[in-house]
Amino acid sequence: MISRGITAIFALLILGISAAVAQGPERPDMARKSGKQLTIKEWKTTPDGKKRWIDHAEIYNAQGQLIEEAEYSDFGTRLAWRAEFEYNDKGQLIKERIFNERNKLSKVRTFEYDAHGVCTRQMNYSANGVLNSYRQFEYSYE
């Protein structure tokens, strides 16, 4: 039973939708229903509500796909990291570009799918395009 749950969670992470699920499945739906790009900013506030700062931001396209995500530090004054996501015509995540705190490209991940639309491989590249590693995914049900 635990194995099935872990397999399901793992599959969600592989498909690149973990951010949308972790933050609430309604976000992609909100973008799709409006037919417009949706930007969501998350703010941290002091307990008294007198000060607030940006903590996290997400941008979804009109199809409900997460296309950009950013995390901030130092009370919202500094970018911690940023990622851009690219999808194919089937709606599958095919590329993720991760930028560092200076907004400089630090790594790229690409994703491959089988004929059934299941993610089978994640390729991990350095910013200059050198393949550093890859993850091969195997699925089993028990």
Question: Which tokens sit at 50?
Answer: 């007198």
Confidence of residue 37 (pLDDT cuts 50, 70, 90): very high
Percent of the chain with pLDDT over 70: 82
Residues of the chain with pLDDT > 90: what percent? 72
Confidence (pLDDT) at 23: 53
Across 74-108, b (16+ Cβ under 10 Å) vs e yields: eebeebeebbbbebeeeebbbbbbebeeeeeebeb
Question: Mind listing the domains of the chain with CATH numbers?
Answer: 2-136 (2.40.128)
Q: Give the tens place of pLDDT for each residue, 67-96.
A: 999 999 998 999 999 999 999 999 999 999
Alpha-carbon separation of residue 13 from 43, 77, 79, 81, 131 (angstroms): 25, 29, 24, 19, 21
**pLDDT digit string (tens) for 89-128?**
999 999 999 999 999 999 999 999 999 999 999 999 999 9
